[in-house]
Structure 1
Amino acid sequence: MQLSSILGVLRSVVIYYNPALMRRNRALYRELIGPGDLAFDVGAHVGTRARAMRHYGARVIAFEPQPVFARFLRWALPRDIVLVEAALGRAESRAQMAVSRRHPTVSSLRDSLPDEARAMPGFEHVRWDSRAEVHVTTLDAMIAAHGLPRYIKIDVEGYEAEVLSGLSQPVDLVSFEYLPGLPQASAAVLARLAELGTYEFNVVRGENAGFDWPDWRDLAQLRAWLARQAPDSGSGDIYARRITT
């Protein structure tokens, strides 16, 4: 393993294992999941979100295709969290991931991301300087293997719509990262969710780990909010909760 890759992982550990941030993550998940719920953590990174889900008794399947992070997770995750060393996408395949060894958290299977990121605030110093061949499976295949999750968290740097393309049924709760500088990626995810079911939405800005809105809002309201976000306003997570009545 190259020194730059090791330093990239250590940087992520220092940032995301911050005790205050971990407490905020647990506080957020307390509202969303409970004992026995099945949760899929797609893009598990260094495992802090998986740990937060587990804290409230969820059964967690963590997906991480990057070899450097998968190696860390094999060592660091509690044994009752199932680690799947694969990406999720439209179909079973092998794929080339663009890797930033210094900033591995922004590695992605989205082929266009290195070019798109040149115009995105916050990515000025990121270089995708390596590639990794990874196994790709589908949400449907993982549901067949592990069961239907109550919650799917997706953080895969613009590849979220491809992940949901491998899902053929609605789930109760989905969250995905939004990048204001990449509005077409969020639009594709919302279009796919609308095909799967009827959802209401809330937003978490950055790593605040708290909902921005006091109430859940409909798709039109979310789209209007996204359209008002400046490209340099910072990323966050959109939560989609299925309406069943």
Structure 2
Amino acid sequence: MLKPIRELLKRSGSYEYFRYSSFFRLYTWLFKRQVIRDHQREVAFYRSFLPNHCSLIFDIGAYDGHKTAAFLKIANKIVCCEPDAHNFRTLRIRFRNSGSSVVLENKAISDHPGTELFFIHHAGSAFNTLNPKWKQILETDLENRWNEKIKFHDEVSIQLTTLDRLIDQYGRPDFIKIDVEGYELTVLKGLSQKVPYISFECLLPECKTELLDCLARLYQLDNKVVFNAAFEERLEFNNFLSYHDMINWVNKEAAPRCFEIVASMEL
């Protein structure tokens, strides 16, 4: 889309309605084939380890809904949790015709219900976080790591709930995807029961301690839990690793990088 038209639509508040319209889907299909391929690759990634069809998925840190769009191909219902007001509006528009298949919660997930300060890089930013350490890491990192100099300009109070409370409300999910910018351990502390599959984002080396704590937390829930790592929608290992083997792998990783951990539990 031509930049002036896009900016005009954004100023009028109409951009998201156009961006998630049938017309734009056709435009994407005809002229943005890489977007289609990226979506298909994401669906294929989740199908590589999830059951053929899931009843329920929790998308924790749903952002603009691109993961939810993939989950709609493999699940009956997706519960999206997104505290950022700008992103939540995008989700409401994007999935306005999805009926009961997509449930939206304008909340963050934590280890307790209540409220907490949410640090704002800018409205809708993927860097917005509840974790002061993550905020500090981003603000002190060199520009070449993120292609921009990160600075947080605001903070707002947001509503919190827990994974246990979501399960009480919606039922046990087949899969929980967690992408919460350094707040993963706190999210997992709000879960006291096993679920078949969980994924969460990791950043090495800055958050190695938190990663090890996340692995230990899941091992507490199920001492038979097994793990894999995923880079760019591809599993690193042909077979899932035991807790101790995953710990050994993490301790050997030296290169700075961001990836996902996928955990599978026995019910």
Q: TM-score, normalised by structure 2?
A: 0.80
- Taking a change above 3 Å as real, the CA distance of residues 110 and 104 of structure 1, as seen in their structure-2 partners, is same
Name the structure 2 match of 1:169.
193
Equivalences for 1:215-226 in 2 at 5 Å?
A: 215-226=239-250
2:116 to 92, 95, 104: 95
Residue 45 of structure 1: SS of its match in structure 2? coil
Runs of 4+ in 1 over 6 A off after TM superposition: none
1:144 to 2:161 alignment: no
My pick for the range that moved more, 49-58 or 124-133, is 124-133
Conservation of the 8 A alpha-carbon contact between 2:84 and 2:123: no
Specify the SS of the correspondent of 2:159. Answer: strand
Q: Could you say what the CA RMSD is over the residues aligned between the two structures, in angstroms?
A: 2.5
Output the CA distance in 2 between the equivalents of 1:242 and 1:148. Answer: 13
Give secondary structure in 1 for the equivalent of 2:131: coil
What does 1:118-137 correspond to in 2, within 5 Å? 118-119=140-141, 122-123=145-146, 125-137=149-161
Q: Does 1:200 align with 2:226?
A: yes
Corresponding letter in the other structure for 2:263: A
Alignment correspondent of 2:207? 182
Give the corresponding residue for 2:84: 66
For 1:106 and 1:229, the matched residues in 2 are separated by 24
Which residue of structure 1 aligns with residue 47 of structure 2?
A: 30
Matched with 2:31 is none
Relative contact order (C-alpha < 8 Å, sep 6+): which is higher? 1
User: How many angstroms apart in 1 are the aligned matches of 2:124 and 2:159?
Assistant: 21
Instruction: Using the TM superposition, give the Cα deviation of residue 48 of structure 1 relative to its aligned residue in structure 2, in angstroms.
Output: 1.1
Q: Distance in 1 between matches of 2:242 and 2:76?
A: 27
State the Cα distance separating 1:36 from its structure 2 match. Answer: 4.4
Deviation sequence 1:2-33 (CA, Å, 0-9, x none)? x9xx79x99xx99xx93222111100122314
Structure 1 partner of 2:67: 49
Kindly tell me the number of residue pairs found equivalent between the two proteins. 232
More helix by share: 2
The answer to whether structure 1 residue 107 and structure 2 residue 138 are counterparts is no
Contact 1:33 1:53 in 2 (8 A): no
Q: CA shift at 1:61, angstroms?
A: 0.4
Identify the range of structure 1 (155-164 vs 219-228) with the bigger mean alpha-carbon deviation: 219-228
- CA distance, structure 2, for counterparts of residue 231 and residue 102 of structure 1: 31
- Gap runs ≥5 in structure 1: none
Give, in angstroms, the shift of residue 187 of structure 1. Answer: 1.4
The answer on whether the counterparts of 1:66 and 1:132 sit within 8 Å (CA) in structure 2 is no
Percent identity over paired residues = 26
Aligned-pair distance for 1:103?
Answer: 7.3
Q: 1:172 and 1:92 mapped to 2: Cα distance?
A: 24
Measured against aligned partners, the alpha-carbon deviations of 1:174-193 in whole angstroms (never above 9, x if no partner) come to 00001012112211211110
Q: Is the 8 A contact 2:54 2:174 kept in 1?
A: no
Deviations 1:188-222 (A, max 9, x none): 211110111121111111xx211111111111221
Q: Give the distance between the partners of 2:246 and 2:46, measured in 1 at CA.
A: 21
**Contact 1:34–1:58 (CA<8 Å) still a contact in 2?**
no
Q: Which residue of 2 aligns with 1:235?
A: 258
